[in-house]
Amino acid sequence: MGRVLNWFNNVATRCRRKRYRPEEVLLLFSSCLQRSACECNVRESLGNCRRCGQCVVGPMLRLADELGIRVFMATGGRLAAREARSPDVKAIVAVACCKELSEGLKAVFPKPVALLEIATPHGPCKDTQIDFDVVREAINRFLH
- Summarize pLDDT for 99-126 with one digit per residue, the tens: 888 888 888 888 999 999 887 777 777 7
Closest CA to 118 of 103, 137, 136, 99: 99
Chain length of the chain: 144
Share of the chain above pLDDT 70, in %: 98
pLDDT value at 98 more than 80 = no
Higher pLDDT, 51 or 68: 68
User: CB of 74 within 8 A of CB of 47?
Assistant: no
pTM (2 d.p.): 0.87
Confidence of residue 2 (pLDDT cuts 50, 70, 90): confident
pLDDT at 112: 93
User: CB of 6 within 8 A of CB of 118?
Assistant: no
Residue ranges and CATH numbers for the domains of the chain are: 2-142 (3.40.50)
Radius of gyration of the chain (CA): 14
Average pLDDT rounded to a whole number, residues 48-62: 82
